[in-house]
Structure 1
Amino acid sequence: MPEDCVQRIIKVGRKSLPSVLTRGMEIEVNSALITKDDWREPIMTYLQYPTLPSEKRVRIMATNYLMWNEDLVRKSKDEVLLRCLGKTEYMKVMGETHEGICGAHQGGRKMCWLIRRYGYFWPTMMKDCINYSKGCEACQRPGPIQQAPSVPMNPVVKPWPFRGWAMDLIGKIYPASSQQHCFIIVATDYFTKWVEAKPIKTTTSQEIITFIEEQIIQRFGIPESITTDRGSSFISRDMLDMAETFKFKLLQSTPYYAQANGQAESSNKVIINVIRKMLEKNPKQWHEKLSKTLWAYRTSKREATGMTPYALTYGHDAILPMEIAVQSLRIAHQHGLTGEDYSQAIDCFAWHYHEMPGLDRQLVETNCQSKRATFQLNRPEEECLWTQN
């Protein structure tokens, strides 16, 4: 030791900070990999080791979270547990939701609703979904141009699913598909907004009758009514004979007024826009994209019902590719679900299901109130009664 140095005894204390992931532990493919820049790291550390010093902000935030088999989950207001995702995971989820196999290239708000519906969460969900949809090139190129002012739709109230259908034709489509299909026949259920569609080569009445028998009657039962326009294929003698055979009403909309069959026109617009966004190189392959378009439509939220057509039809949500890419809680723990838990989930969904007719009536009443308020605002001044206090 040099002479100018003083010998001192220094006490060294080793304090090992706990790690979220123990060294040497095998990590599953879908387990959360937490980094220092991850927003989940301080919350998970506090929940696992609450005796360690932590910021007040973290302690307040942690009241809404809990650990579930090494995953951080958030407790929502409706008592649903949402799996918390990091940046790498939620980028995969947004990609599958927006432009994946069942992606409908929907807007940011619908993306956020669907992702939360399937049990995922991160703090900037709405902002990230909106920015992701705005940055999609396929969504910006074929954007629809509104030619006429929007008119509020008057909902057709049906007592239960598949009692009333709206039917219409899309076409003539140019270019024709590689199989020489030039038209698409579309049918939409008024209650669940479930859509059936099929590419066809001609618009003969026999093609339409075959579609009704195979896609509607043999799958969902005999409806009470089918609403169409006044095209020659819909009002032919063969169609009238079929309606008489199966005892359902064949209703026609007002001539030269497409809005009278607004449900069918709305479905047509959505299907056309989604197919345009899915086509990349060969436009003649549009008939191959139709099935994916229908899947995307059926698993997307409809504004009239606040639910997806798939959920209203089958009583539960479909398994989407984003749940395979990043496992949701229901996929990860599906084998641990008891019969009692499943019955409780079905009862909870049935309650919302029975509220659907009331929602339609509420929409009708709200529309009437809005019309009355608009009429009062647009009254001329000479018809108003002025009073002086």
Structure 2
Amino acid sequence: MHSNKLIRRSYSGPHLTCIKYPQTLEVLCKIHDGECGNHSRGRSLAQKALNIGNFWPTIRHDSAEYVKKCDRCQRHKPIPNMPAEVCHSQNSPWPFMQWAINLVGPLPPALAKKEMMIVSTDYFTKWIDAEILSSKWRNIICRFGCPQSLVTDNGSQFIAEASNKVILNCLKKRLEGAEGKWVDELPGVLWAYRTTKRRSTGETSFSLAYGTEAIIPLHITVHSISLEVAVLIKTPSR
């Protein structure tokens, strides 16, 4: 117990605050549909709720049911056209050594006739970045250093890459009919992707890049035990 709140100890993550309905619905709604939400699937939605320090016994079931009832998720859910195959992934020995770069577009015309974007993905952290009709050198080299190699498939438009599909699907769910505003929504889509655990690594791209998890808006509105303890430590005793 802490401040009359039931606390659950996790195996390797933060201490979890046990919550109940309707607060559980508020948490799922803000993670899934909020400012930093990316309409993630049930597994990712439940994991993100755990990462910010919340727990209830039916968290995974409730997350899956919430996604099933989301109108945008159902209408824009990708339909696989090819049978599943064994994934042959390429590995990188350290962060930001090897990037995959792809061109996405043409997209619905936005302000200043912007219709294309260049998407890059780091093989180690799965960090994804995108630039609208601009060079990637400013966003990658000036922030993470020179990579040892850049990987492309030399195809036109490179539309088959997984990262591209994630970005396009998230933009569809966020925008609905306002397709020309994808430029404004792109930073939020990238942020949501970077702060969601990837199945291939078991970690978020943000934590692998910076060594700590990002503080998302829900941390502020729904206080976690870790933040409350941090505030107590910083508050000078009288």
Residue matched to 1:230: 154
Q: How many Å apart are 1:79 and its aligned residue?
A: 7.5
Q: How many Å apart are 1:136 and its aligned residue?
A: 0.4
Q: TM-score, normalised by structure 2?
A: 0.92
Higher share in helix:
1
Residue of structure 2 aligned with 1:88, choices 19, 22, 44: 22
Q: Deviations over 1:203-232 (max 9, x none)?
A: xxxx4xx32x20110010000000013258
Q: Distance in 2 between matches of 1:150 and 1:270?
A: 17
Q: Deviations over 1:293-334 (max 9, x none)?
A: 000110111111011101111111111122122111122221
Rate the CA distance shift 1:95–1:222 in 2: closer, same or farther, 3 A.
same
Q: Distance in 2 between matches of 1:108 and 1:148?
A: 23
Q: Distance in 2 between matches of 1:228 and 1:143?
A: 27
Residue matched to 1:270: 166
Instruction: In structure 2, give the amino acid aligned to 1:137.
Output: D
Q: Deviations over 1:317-357 (max 9, x none)?
A: 1111221221111222213458xxxxxxxxxxxxxxxxxxx
Residue of structure 2 aligned with 1:176, choices 89, 93, 109: 109
Unpaired runs of 5+ in structure 2? none
Establish whether residue 68 from structure 1 lines up as the match of residue 2 from structure 2.
Answer: yes
- % same residue: 39
Unpaired runs of 5+ in structure 1? 1-66, 201-206, 234-257, 339-389
Q: Distance in 1 between matches of 2:31 and 2:155?
A: 37
Tell me which of the two structures has the higher relative contact order, counting C-alpha pairs closer than 8 angstroms and 6 or more residues apart: 2
Give secondary structure in 1 for the equivalent of 2:113: coil
- The answer to whether the Cα contact below 8 Å between 1:93 and 1:325 also exists between their aligned partners in 2 is no
Q: Deviations over 1:33-62 (max 9, x none)?
A: xxxxxxxxxxxxxxxxxxxxxxxxxxxxxx
Q: Deviations over 1:14-33 (max 9, x none)?
A: xxxxxxxxxxxxxxxxxxxx
Instruction: In structure 1, give the amino acid aligned to 2:100.
Output: A
Give secondary structure in 1 for the equivalent of 2:6: strand
The ranges of structure 1 where at least 4 consecutive aligned residues each deviate by more than 6 angstroms after the TM superposition are none
Q: Deviations over 1:123-150 (max 9, x none)?
A: 1111111111110001011111212223
Residue matched to 1:319: 215
1:1-389 map, 5 Å: 67-78=1-12, 80-173=14-107, 175-200=108-133, 207=134, 210-211=135-136, 213-230=137-154, 265-337=161-233
Rate the CA distance shift 1:232–1:134 in 2: closer, same or farther, 3 A.
closer
Rate the CA distance shift 1:182–1:80 in 2: closer, same or farther, 3 A.
closer
Aligned-residue CA RMSD (Å): 2.0
